[in-house]
Amino acid sequence: MSVTPKSSLASLALSLNNNLLEIHSIERSSSTKTLTIELQGHRYDIRSVTLSSDNTLLMSTSHNAVKFWNPSTGSCLRTIDCGYGLCGLILPRNKFALVGTKGGTIEIIDIRSGTCIDVVKAHGGFVRLIATIPDGDDFVTGSEGHEVKFWEYQYTQQPNQMYHALKHYTILEIMTEEYRVNKHSKPLMVSHIRTMKMNDDVQVVAVSPDAKYIAVVLLYCTVKVFFMDSFKFFLSLYCHKLPVLCMDISSDGDLLVTEPAYKNLKIWFLDFCDCHKSILAHADSAGKYRLIKYWDADKFKLLLTLEGHHAEVWCLSISSHEKEKRLEQMFKSDLDNAFENRYAPKEELLEEGAVALAGEKTQETIFTTDSIIDALDIVEDELKHITGHAV
Protein backbone atom coordinates (compact mmCIF):
# COMPACT_ATOMS: atom_id res chain seq x y z
CA MET A 1 0.00 0.00 0.00
CA SER A 2 1.30 3.48 -0.85
CA VAL A 3 -0.04 6.94 -0.12
CA THR A 4 0.72 9.71 -2.61
CA PRO A 5 0.28 13.35 -1.56
CA LYS A 6 -2.05 15.39 -3.75
CA SER A 7 0.78 17.73 -4.77
CA SER A 8 3.01 14.86 -5.92
CA LEU A 9 2.91 12.70 -8.98
CA ALA A 10 3.93 9.53 -7.12
CA SER A 11 5.68 8.10 -4.06
CA LEU A 12 8.78 5.94 -4.35
CA ALA A 13 9.84 3.49 -1.61
CA LEU A 14 13.50 2.41 -1.66
CA SER A 15 15.08 -0.46 0.25
CA LEU A 16 18.81 0.31 0.51
CA ASN A 17 21.69 -2.11 1.04
CA ASN A 18 22.48 -0.59 4.47
CA ASN A 19 19.19 -1.65 6.12
CA LEU A 20 17.40 1.64 5.48
CA LEU A 21 13.95 2.19 3.97
CA GLU A 22 13.38 5.58 2.34
CA ILE A 23 10.19 7.05 0.91
CA HIS A 24 10.50 9.83 -1.67
CA SER A 25 7.83 12.13 -3.01
CA ILE A 26 8.16 12.54 -6.80
CA GLU A 27 7.19 15.90 -8.27
CA ARG A 28 7.42 17.26 -11.79
CA SER A 29 10.89 18.78 -11.52
CA SER A 30 12.29 17.35 -8.29
CA SER A 31 11.97 14.73 -5.58
CA THR A 32 11.85 15.04 -1.81
CA LYS A 33 12.70 12.46 0.84
CA THR A 34 9.67 12.41 3.12
CA LEU A 35 10.35 9.45 5.42
CA THR A 36 13.22 7.25 6.60
CA ILE A 37 12.78 4.00 8.53
CA GLU A 38 15.86 2.70 10.37
CA LEU A 39 16.28 -0.60 12.18
CA GLN A 40 18.30 -1.02 15.37
CA GLY A 41 20.79 -3.24 13.58
CA HIS A 42 24.04 -2.45 11.79
CA ARG A 43 24.17 -0.79 8.41
CA TYR A 44 26.77 -3.31 7.16
CA ASP A 45 27.75 -6.95 7.74
CA ILE A 46 28.37 -7.97 11.37
CA ARG A 47 31.89 -9.34 11.73
CA SER A 48 31.88 -10.47 15.37
CA VAL A 49 29.59 -10.95 18.37
CA THR A 50 30.77 -11.25 21.97
CA LEU A 51 28.90 -11.98 25.21
CA SER A 52 29.97 -10.62 28.59
CA SER A 53 31.10 -13.05 31.28
CA ASP A 54 27.73 -12.81 33.06
CA ASN A 55 25.74 -13.04 29.79
CA THR A 56 23.92 -9.74 30.45
CA LEU A 57 25.54 -7.79 27.62
CA LEU A 58 26.18 -8.53 23.93
CA MET A 59 28.59 -6.61 21.73
CA SER A 60 28.57 -6.69 17.93
CA THR A 61 31.11 -5.07 15.60
CA SER A 62 30.75 -3.95 12.02
CA HIS A 63 32.10 -1.58 9.36
CA ASN A 64 32.00 1.71 11.30
CA ALA A 65 30.22 1.09 14.59
CA VAL A 66 30.02 -1.15 17.61
CA LYS A 67 26.65 -1.88 19.24
CA PHE A 68 25.76 -3.12 22.70
CA TRP A 69 22.58 -5.16 23.17
CA ASN A 70 20.43 -6.66 25.87
CA PRO A 71 20.48 -10.41 24.99
CA SER A 72 17.22 -11.08 26.84
CA THR A 73 15.09 -8.42 25.14
CA GLY A 74 17.04 -7.93 21.90
CA SER A 75 17.04 -4.15 22.36
CA CYS A 76 20.01 -2.01 21.32
CA LEU A 77 21.48 -0.18 24.34
CA ARG A 78 24.28 1.86 22.75
CA THR A 79 25.78 2.58 19.33
CA ILE A 80 29.39 3.83 19.31
CA ASP A 81 31.38 4.95 16.29
CA CYS A 82 34.64 3.08 15.80
CA GLY A 83 36.90 1.65 13.12
CA TYR A 84 36.21 -1.46 11.04
CA GLY A 85 35.80 -3.95 13.90
CA LEU A 86 36.77 -7.55 13.15
CA CYS A 87 36.72 -8.90 16.73
CA GLY A 88 35.89 -7.81 20.24
CA LEU A 89 36.03 -8.58 23.93
CA ILE A 90 33.94 -7.32 26.87
CA LEU A 91 36.11 -7.07 29.97
CA PRO A 92 34.87 -8.18 33.42
CA ARG A 93 32.63 -5.70 35.29
CA ASN A 94 31.04 -4.75 31.91
CA LYS A 95 32.54 -1.25 32.03
CA PHE A 96 35.03 -1.47 29.17
CA ALA A 97 35.34 -3.35 25.88
CA LEU A 98 38.15 -3.95 23.38
CA VAL A 99 37.65 -3.88 19.61
CA GLY A 100 40.24 -5.19 17.15
CA THR A 101 40.08 -3.31 13.85
CA LYS A 102 41.03 -3.75 10.23
CA GLY A 103 43.61 -0.98 10.64
CA GLY A 104 45.65 -3.03 13.11
CA THR A 105 44.56 -1.12 16.23
CA ILE A 106 42.80 -2.01 19.47
CA GLU A 107 40.13 0.50 20.41
CA ILE A 108 39.21 0.78 24.10
CA ILE A 109 35.50 1.50 24.53
CA ASP A 110 33.97 2.99 27.67
CA ILE A 111 30.55 1.33 27.71
CA ARG A 112 28.99 3.64 30.30
CA SER A 113 29.88 6.91 28.52
CA GLY A 114 29.55 5.43 25.02
CA THR A 115 32.92 6.75 23.84
CA CYS A 116 36.23 5.44 22.55
CA ILE A 117 38.76 6.50 25.19
CA ASP A 118 41.96 5.20 23.59
CA VAL A 119 43.38 3.64 20.43
CA VAL A 120 46.39 1.33 20.72
CA LYS A 121 48.51 0.43 17.69
CA ALA A 122 48.71 -3.35 18.02
CA HIS A 123 49.67 -4.96 14.69
CA GLY A 124 50.82 -4.10 11.20
CA GLY A 125 47.88 -5.98 9.63
CA PHE A 126 44.28 -6.83 10.43
CA VAL A 127 43.59 -7.74 14.07
CA ARG A 128 41.78 -11.00 13.40
CA LEU A 129 40.96 -12.04 16.95
CA ILE A 130 41.02 -11.15 20.62
CA ALA A 131 41.00 -14.08 23.06
CA THR A 132 40.95 -13.82 26.83
CA ILE A 133 43.33 -15.79 29.06
CA PRO A 134 41.46 -17.58 31.90
CA ASP A 135 41.96 -16.47 35.51
CA GLY A 136 43.90 -13.32 34.74
CA ASP A 137 43.87 -9.78 33.41
CA ASP A 138 45.54 -10.82 30.15
CA PHE A 139 44.38 -11.34 26.58
CA VAL A 140 45.81 -12.43 23.24
CA THR A 141 45.57 -10.89 19.77
CA GLY A 142 46.43 -12.37 16.37
CA SER A 143 46.95 -10.67 13.02
CA GLU A 144 47.99 -11.02 9.41
CA GLY A 145 51.43 -9.79 10.40
CA HIS A 146 52.56 -13.32 11.43
CA GLU A 147 52.31 -12.41 15.11
CA VAL A 148 50.47 -13.47 18.26
CA LYS A 149 50.76 -10.79 20.93
CA PHE A 150 50.06 -11.04 24.64
CA TRP A 151 48.63 -8.07 26.52
CA GLU A 152 47.55 -7.12 30.03
CA TYR A 153 45.04 -4.51 31.14
CA GLN A 154 44.90 -2.56 34.38
CA TYR A 155 42.23 -0.37 35.90
CA THR A 156 43.63 2.92 37.13
CA GLN A 157 43.01 4.17 40.66
CA GLN A 158 39.45 5.32 41.24
CA PRO A 159 38.83 8.75 42.85
CA ASN A 160 37.36 7.30 46.07
CA GLN A 161 40.38 5.01 46.43
CA MET A 162 42.71 7.98 45.91
CA TYR A 163 40.91 10.08 48.54
CA HIS A 164 41.16 7.21 51.01
CA ALA A 165 44.90 6.92 50.39
CA LEU A 166 45.36 10.71 50.78
CA LYS A 167 42.95 11.32 53.66
CA HIS A 168 45.71 12.74 55.86
CA TYR A 169 46.83 15.25 53.20
CA THR A 170 45.66 18.84 52.89
CA ILE A 171 42.93 19.84 50.42
CA LEU A 172 45.47 21.58 48.17
CA GLU A 173 47.68 18.47 48.05
CA ILE A 174 44.66 16.27 47.24
CA MET A 175 43.55 18.62 44.42
CA THR A 176 47.12 18.67 43.04
CA GLU A 177 47.32 14.86 43.08
CA GLU A 178 43.88 14.54 41.47
CA TYR A 179 44.90 16.88 38.65
CA ARG A 180 48.12 14.93 38.08
CA VAL A 181 46.29 11.58 37.93
CA ASN A 182 43.56 12.84 35.60
CA LYS A 183 46.08 14.49 33.30
CA HIS A 184 48.47 11.60 32.83
CA SER A 185 46.31 8.48 33.29
CA LYS A 186 43.32 6.81 31.72
CA PRO A 187 40.62 4.67 33.34
CA LEU A 188 41.99 1.55 31.60
CA MET A 189 45.56 0.92 30.56
CA VAL A 190 46.56 -1.77 28.02
CA SER A 191 50.20 -2.88 27.92
CA HIS A 192 52.04 -5.22 25.54
CA ILE A 193 53.85 -8.07 27.35
CA ARG A 194 55.39 -10.40 24.77
CA THR A 195 55.16 -11.56 21.16
CA MET A 196 55.12 -15.01 19.57
CA LYS A 197 56.33 -15.00 15.96
CA MET A 198 54.65 -17.28 13.41
CA ASN A 199 55.61 -18.21 9.85
CA ASP A 200 52.19 -17.38 8.35
CA ASP A 201 49.13 -15.18 8.82
CA VAL A 202 47.23 -15.91 12.03
CA GLN A 203 43.52 -16.66 11.55
CA VAL A 204 42.24 -18.01 14.90
CA VAL A 205 43.66 -18.45 18.41
CA ALA A 206 42.22 -20.50 21.29
CA VAL A 207 43.53 -20.82 24.85
CA SER A 208 42.85 -23.91 26.99
CA PRO A 209 40.81 -23.33 30.20
CA ASP A 210 43.83 -24.12 32.40
CA ALA A 211 46.00 -21.72 30.31
CA LYS A 212 48.44 -24.57 29.60
CA TYR A 213 48.14 -24.62 25.82
CA ILE A 214 47.56 -22.06 23.10
CA ALA A 215 46.34 -23.26 19.69
CA VAL A 216 46.98 -21.12 16.61
CA VAL A 217 45.33 -21.49 13.20
CA LEU A 218 47.54 -20.36 10.31
CA LEU A 219 46.43 -19.40 6.84
CA TYR A 220 47.51 -22.48 4.90
CA CYS A 221 45.53 -25.27 6.59
CA THR A 222 47.83 -25.59 9.62
CA VAL A 223 46.88 -25.70 13.31
CA LYS A 224 49.75 -25.57 15.80
CA VAL A 225 49.60 -26.08 19.55
CA PHE A 226 52.19 -24.47 21.87
CA PHE A 227 52.86 -24.45 25.58
CA MET A 228 51.55 -21.20 27.00
CA ASP A 229 54.36 -20.42 29.42
CA SER A 230 57.40 -21.10 27.25
CA PHE A 231 55.97 -20.88 23.67
CA LYS A 232 57.56 -24.30 23.10
CA PHE A 233 56.01 -26.18 20.17
CA PHE A 234 53.82 -29.11 21.24
CA LEU A 235 51.98 -30.66 18.27
CA SER A 236 50.43 -29.90 14.88
CA LEU A 237 46.98 -30.83 13.61
CA TYR A 238 46.97 -32.11 10.03
CA CYS A 239 44.30 -33.52 7.67
CA HIS A 240 42.78 -30.14 6.75
CA LYS A 241 42.39 -29.72 3.02
CA LEU A 242 41.26 -26.07 3.21
CA PRO A 243 41.94 -23.22 5.68
CA VAL A 244 40.35 -23.55 9.12
CA LEU A 245 37.70 -20.87 9.67
CA CYS A 246 37.02 -21.38 13.39
CA MET A 247 38.32 -23.34 16.36
CA ASP A 248 37.48 -23.81 20.04
CA ILE A 249 38.57 -25.83 23.08
CA SER A 250 36.06 -27.57 25.36
CA SER A 251 35.44 -26.29 28.88
CA ASP A 252 37.24 -29.29 30.42
CA GLY A 253 40.25 -28.85 28.11
CA ASP A 254 40.05 -32.39 26.69
CA LEU A 255 38.73 -31.70 23.18
CA LEU A 256 39.64 -29.27 20.44
CA VAL A 257 37.21 -28.67 17.55
CA THR A 258 38.11 -27.24 14.15
CA GLU A 259 35.84 -26.15 11.31
CA PRO A 260 37.58 -26.05 7.90
CA ALA A 261 36.17 -24.24 4.88
CA TYR A 262 34.28 -27.32 3.72
CA LYS A 263 31.57 -29.63 5.04
CA ASN A 264 33.39 -31.53 7.78
CA LEU A 265 33.72 -30.86 11.51
CA LYS A 266 36.83 -32.35 13.17
CA ILE A 267 37.09 -33.25 16.86
CA TRP A 268 40.59 -33.75 18.33
CA PHE A 269 42.01 -35.01 21.62
CA LEU A 270 44.11 -32.12 22.92
CA ASP A 271 46.53 -34.34 24.90
CA PHE A 272 47.83 -36.17 21.82
CA CYS A 273 46.20 -34.08 19.06
CA ASP A 274 44.87 -37.13 17.22
CA CYS A 275 41.64 -36.78 15.26
CA HIS A 276 38.92 -38.35 17.41
CA LYS A 277 36.12 -37.94 14.88
CA SER A 278 35.39 -36.27 11.55
CA ILE A 279 31.71 -35.46 11.09
CA LEU A 280 29.96 -34.54 7.87
CA ALA A 281 28.25 -31.61 9.55
CA HIS A 282 27.05 -29.41 6.70
CA ALA A 283 25.57 -29.62 3.23
CA ASP A 284 27.82 -26.69 2.22
CA SER A 285 30.67 -24.70 3.73
CA ALA A 286 30.02 -23.83 7.37
CA GLY A 287 27.58 -20.94 7.71
CA LYS A 288 27.03 -20.48 3.97
CA TYR A 289 23.60 -22.10 3.93
CA ARG A 290 22.21 -19.97 6.80
CA LEU A 291 21.96 -22.74 9.43
CA ILE A 292 23.50 -23.24 12.87
CA LYS A 293 23.81 -26.83 14.11
CA TYR A 294 24.16 -27.97 17.71
CA TRP A 295 26.11 -31.23 18.12
CA ASP A 296 26.85 -33.68 20.92
CA ALA A 297 30.66 -33.95 20.79
CA ASP A 298 30.67 -37.12 22.94
CA LYS A 299 28.20 -39.19 20.92
CA PHE A 300 28.57 -37.31 17.61
CA LYS A 301 24.83 -36.76 17.18
CA LEU A 302 23.02 -33.73 15.86
CA LEU A 303 20.86 -32.32 18.64
CA LEU A 304 19.42 -29.16 17.13
CA THR A 305 19.32 -27.13 13.92
CA LEU A 306 18.69 -23.40 14.25
CA GLU A 307 17.09 -21.67 11.28
CA GLY A 308 16.17 -18.05 10.73
CA HIS A 309 19.15 -16.40 9.07
CA HIS A 310 18.65 -14.88 5.62
CA ALA A 311 22.32 -14.75 4.64
CA GLU A 312 25.66 -16.32 5.54
CA VAL A 313 26.50 -16.72 9.24
CA TRP A 314 29.78 -14.89 9.92
CA CYS A 315 30.22 -15.28 13.66
CA LEU A 316 28.93 -17.03 16.78
CA SER A 317 29.08 -16.56 20.55
CA ILE A 318 28.14 -19.17 23.16
CA SER A 319 26.41 -18.35 26.44
CA SER A 320 27.26 -20.09 29.70
CA HIS A 321 23.78 -19.52 31.09
CA GLU A 322 22.17 -22.15 33.29
CA LYS A 323 19.41 -22.69 30.71
CA GLU A 324 21.91 -24.11 28.20
CA LYS A 325 23.39 -26.36 30.89
CA ARG A 326 19.95 -27.60 31.83
CA LEU A 327 19.06 -28.37 28.22
CA GLU A 328 22.33 -30.21 27.72
CA GLN A 329 21.64 -32.36 30.80
CA MET A 330 18.16 -33.14 29.47
CA PHE A 331 19.55 -34.18 26.10
CA LYS A 332 22.11 -36.48 27.77
CA SER A 333 19.45 -37.97 30.04
CA ASP A 334 17.16 -38.70 27.09
CA LEU A 335 19.96 -40.29 25.08
CA ASP A 336 21.14 -42.43 28.00
CA ASN A 337 17.63 -43.68 28.79
CA ALA A 338 16.64 -44.35 25.20
CA PHE A 339 17.49 -48.06 25.46
CA GLU A 340 15.54 -48.51 28.72
CA ASN A 341 12.48 -46.74 27.39
CA ARG A 342 12.43 -48.95 24.33
CA TYR A 343 10.97 -51.89 26.27
CA ALA A 344 8.72 -49.88 28.60
CA PRO A 345 4.99 -50.73 28.40
CA LYS A 346 3.25 -48.53 25.90
CA GLU A 347 0.13 -46.65 26.90
CA GLU A 348 -3.03 -47.03 24.92
CA LEU A 349 -3.81 -44.27 22.44
CA LEU A 350 -6.58 -41.95 23.54
CA GLU A 351 -9.41 -40.73 21.41
CA GLU A 352 -9.05 -37.47 19.55
CA GLY A 353 -9.68 -34.48 21.83
CA ALA A 354 -9.10 -36.41 25.08
CA VAL A 355 -6.88 -34.98 27.82
CA ALA A 356 -4.02 -36.96 29.37
CA LEU A 357 -0.59 -36.58 30.93
CA ALA A 358 2.31 -35.36 28.80
CA GLY A 359 3.93 -38.00 26.66
CA GLU A 360 7.61 -38.85 26.19
CA LYS A 361 10.05 -35.96 26.51
CA THR A 362 11.72 -35.04 23.21
CA GLN A 363 13.89 -32.21 21.92
CA GLU A 364 10.84 -30.57 20.39
CA THR A 365 8.82 -30.64 23.61
CA ILE A 366 11.79 -29.30 25.61
CA PHE A 367 12.25 -26.26 23.37
CA THR A 368 8.49 -25.70 23.13
CA THR A 369 8.28 -25.66 26.93
CA ASP A 370 11.15 -23.16 27.16
CA SER A 371 9.46 -20.96 24.55
CA ILE A 372 6.24 -20.95 26.61
CA ILE A 373 8.18 -20.09 29.78
CA ASP A 374 10.00 -17.24 28.00
CA ALA A 375 6.69 -15.92 26.68
CA LEU A 376 5.17 -15.99 30.18
CA ASP A 377 8.20 -14.11 31.55
CA ILE A 378 7.81 -11.43 28.87
CA VAL A 379 4.08 -11.07 29.66
CA GLU A 380 4.85 -10.75 33.36
CA ASP A 381 7.42 -7.99 32.71
CA GLU A 382 5.04 -6.10 30.43
CA LEU A 383 2.25 -6.27 33.03
CA LYS A 384 4.63 -4.80 35.61
CA HIS A 385 5.51 -1.94 33.23
CA ILE A 386 1.83 -1.26 32.53
CA THR A 387 1.01 -1.27 36.24
CA GLY A 388 3.90 1.11 36.94
CA HIS A 389 2.77 3.57 34.25
CA ALA A 390 -0.84 3.42 35.52
CA VAL A 391 0.29 4.39 39.01
DSSP assignment of 174-211, as one string?
HHHHHHHHHHH--SEEEEEEEEEE-SS-EEEEEE-TTS
Cβ partners under 8 Å of residue 281, min gap 6: 259, 263, 264, 265, 293, 295
For 127-181, the pLDDT digits (tens) are: 999 999 987 789 999 988 889 999 999 887 554 454 444 455 555 554 555 545 5
In contact, 10 and 23? CB cutoff 8 Å: no
Element (H, E) at 390: helix 363-390
pLDDT in tens, the chain (391 residues): 445 555 677 888 888 776 778 888 888 788 888 888 776 788 788 899 999 988 889 999 998 899 999 988 888 888 999 999 999 999 988 889 999 999 999 999 999 888 899 999 999 889 999 999 987 789 999 988 889 999 999 887 554 454 444 455 555 554 555 545 554 567 888 999 999 999 888 989 999 998 999 999 988 788 899 999 899 999 888 777 788 888 899 888 889 998 887 778 888 888 877 888 888 877 766 567 788 888 888 888 887 787 878 778 888 888 765 556 655 665 555 555 544 444 334 444 445 545 455 555 565 666 677 678 778 878 888 888 788 776 5
What's 137's DSSP letter?
S
In contact, 133 and 207? CB cutoff 8 Å: yes
Work out the number of other CB atoms within 10 angstroms of the CB of residue 53.
13
Say whether 372 sits in a helix, a strand or coil: helix
Distance (Å, whole) CA 99 – CA 61:
8
What's 330's DSSP letter?
H
Distance (Å, whole) CA 141 – CA 231:
15
- Half-sphere exposure for 30 (CA within 13 Å, toward CB): 4
Q: What is the pTM of this model?
A: 0.69
Distance (Å, whole) CA 102 – CA 63:
9
Distance (Å, whole) CA 355 – CA 225:
58
Q: Which residues of 337-346 are buried (b: 16+ CB within 10 A; e: fewer)?
A: eeeeeeeeee
